[in-house]
Chains A and B, each alone.
Chain A
């Protein structure tokens, strides 16, 4: 044995790390920086494919063309509702922190989000001005609208279901399976099902409304209902994982608390409100952040169900990136949007990381 050459610990470590490091560097780190590099170029997909030198370095002009415009000014009353909400949020973060009802981290997070809410919607084209890209900010707005409905929709229904299903009986585990099963379907199956569910001529929803004498809604082609339809399909699809996380969180709450509470006559809804919810705050924030990250990247549902329409009502950020890059061949601009997406996702990931760490 002694004669056989043997790897030292360091050598063995690097040897076994090599497959991971190689794939990681090649398919994640390098593309990430290359993405930033592409975003600094005027880069046409087809032109560069034929002639690698057909790209031109333009600095931050892509970012400007996507996010900025001519004569952009800022005012406090441009989007009064959002900005008022932001101001309220700012006030709340200071007030609740003073009252010691918020941890320092949550207070800072709330303050930052609120400040952005005051600041960002304040920009608008001034006299004779216009956005260079009319579609970008509305697209971001649609994405946020989707997140604003899908995340509470999933979180609240998953939380209620988990609380009801948190019992170790055979019937309950079957019910849990039934609620979870849609989660494993692919986005194309989900959109296939819901496209036809929502169809005004063939759809199940239309068939049922007609039976009861109602007029079917043109869900997917009506500007008012298209986003709602996508949110419904999404909640149906992605409830399972949130429910599972809540069930795991509920397992950690000691049964003794509930038994003690029964003596104080706190059962059912009251027990849920006064015991379950306060003990589940960390799980709730994990689920909410996770859902925000997940749903901000929404692509398949609008891409397949409504093609971003009608009239751009369901156009979302990732679909706009995809179209700019692969239909309009404008890789530079598309990459600038992708970097924007990364910045938003990245900041939520940092929040998630900190929240996840808080307990330890």
Chain B
């Protein structure tokens, strides 16, 4: 490392630290006793160092309260949505990339138009629809409306288009059916794109707020994102600041860990999703 880049790193460390402070503060508060926090939030170095230290907030979260249950709901919804989106997007993406059939262009154009409809513009009709079906307060109500994502189809379509045709054509000459080619030849090749799409969907599902807020009115069906919103408005009175912060940390752990492990895919997903979606 030469001198100038040494200074650059040093100079950037300060804003980076400031950027990290809010998150650090949340983590630090979650390890401090509620009685202390009720008095002051800046015990040691503005509260950024968790002294006095306690595990009680986390212990309390798991012994009573609904946080573990909400966490589980989030896992179910996020995993369910991810699998659903993968299934729907890979099949449709493959068909649009490789097969010829009547009305193909119409469907592509329809997908493009679908990209323009924001969820905020359809959440009211979706609500009345699901109410008619009597579907609210269930896992499928939280999962299904998010499965029809044209962006996933486009992502997979672009990936399949980039795969050389030879492999498939050899298989076709041997008389292998389309479904088998898709399942045994194309899907294994598509793993990197599927990873990207899966992570994008999981992050989205975990952090989704508006639709769960509208659809899940019973606390048993809250996701962790929604549950956290329901306890934060009265954090000071009932729950204790330390415990609410501990919930926040628990709610963020899966996505942060996922991000740290699969950083490359997340960045790729954001780039593709961002510039195309």
Contact = CB atoms under 8 A, between A and B. Distances in A.
Contacts of A12: 99, 177-179
B182 A192 contact: no
Contact of A171 (B9, B91, B213): B9
Contacts of B150: 24
A10 interface: yes
Interface string A272-301: 000000000000001100100100010110
Contact of A244 (B145, B229, B271): B271
Contact of B8 (A15, A19, A164, A177): A164
B114 A24 contact: yes
A13 B20 CA distance: 49
Contacts of A49: 131
Given A7-B177, A184-B255, A244-B271, A338 B148 contact: no
Q: How large is the interface on A (under 10, 10 to 19, 20 to 34, 35 or more residues)?
A: 35 or more
Contacts of A325: 124, 127
A189 B226 CA distance: 10
A178 B120 contact: no
Contact of B41 (A175, A207, A326, A334): A207
Interface string A7-33: 101101111110111011011111110
A338 B88 CA distance: 27
Contact of B214 (A20, A186, A195, A326): A326
Interface stretch (A63-71, A109-117, A134-142, A339-347): A339-347
Contact of B16 (A175, A339, A345): A175
Given A175-B9, A208-B46, A326-B214, A188 B271 contact: no
B118 A356 contact: no
A273 B258 CA distance: 37
B83 to A, nearest CB: 12
Given A1-B175, A345-B116, A179 B122 contact: no
A23 B26 contact: no
A185 interface: yes
A114 B250 CA distance: 47
B34 interface: no
The binding surface of chain A is classed by DSSP as helix
Interface string A153-172: 00000000100110101011
Nearest to B121: A342
Interface string B247-277: 0100110011011100100110011001110
Contacts of B94: 16
Interface in B6-58: 8-9, 12-13, 15-16, 19-23, 25-26, 29, 37, 41-42, 46-47
Contact of A186 (B16, B102, B120, B252): B252
A16 B179 contact: yes
Contacts of B232: 188, 191-192, 195, 304
A40 interface: no
Nearest to B90: A16
**Size range of the chain B interface in the assembly:** 35 or more
Interface in B86-138: 87-89, 91-92, 94-96, 99-102, 104, 107, 110-112, 114-118, 120-129, 131
Contact of A204 (B21, B102, B210, B251): B21
A338 B126 CA distance: 12
A354 interface: no
A179 to B, nearest CB: 6
Contacts of A32: 117, 121-122, 125
A226 interface: no
Given A179-B16, A192-B232, A186 B207 contact: yes
B194 interface: no
B117 A334 contact: no
B153 interface: yes
B91 A17 contact: yes
Contact of A188 (B12, B178, B209, B260): B209
Nearest to B8: A164
A87 B60 CA distance: 61
Contact of B12 (A9, A165, A181, A182): A165
A244 B275 CA distance: 11
A191 B114 CA distance: 30
Nearest to B126: A31
24 contacts: A23-B144, A23-B148, A24-B110, A31-B122, A31-B126, A32-B122, A35-B122, A37-B125, A49-B131, A171-B1, A178-B19, A185-B23, A186-B252, A187-B209, A188-B209, A192-B228, A204-B21, A204-B41, A241-B270, A244-B270, A304-B229, A334-B124, A339-B121, A346-B116
Interface of B: 1, 5, 8-9, 12-13, 15-16, 19-23, 25-26, 29, 37, 41-42, 46-47, 84, 87-89, 91-92, 94-96, 99-102, 104, 107, 110-112, 114-118, 120-129, 131, 144-145, 147-148, 150, 153, 175, 177-179, 182, 203, 206-207, 209-210, 213-214, 225-226, 228-229, 232-233, 235-236, 241, 244-245, 248, 251-252, 255-256, 258-260, 263, 266-267, 270-271, 274-276
Interface of A: 1, 6-7, 9-10, 12-17, 19-21, 23-24, 26-32, 34-35, 37-38, 45, 48-49, 161, 164-165, 167, 169, 171-172, 175, 177-189, 191-197, 202-204, 207-208, 211, 236, 240-241, 244-245, 248, 286-287, 290, 293, 297, 299-300, 304, 318, 321-322, 325-326, 331, 334-335, 338-339, 341-342, 345-346, 349-350, 353, 356
Given A28-B122, A342-B118, 11 more contacts: A13-B104, A16-B94, A21-B107, A24-B114, A185-B23, A189-B228, A204-B41, A248-B271, A321-B124, A331-B128, A338-B122
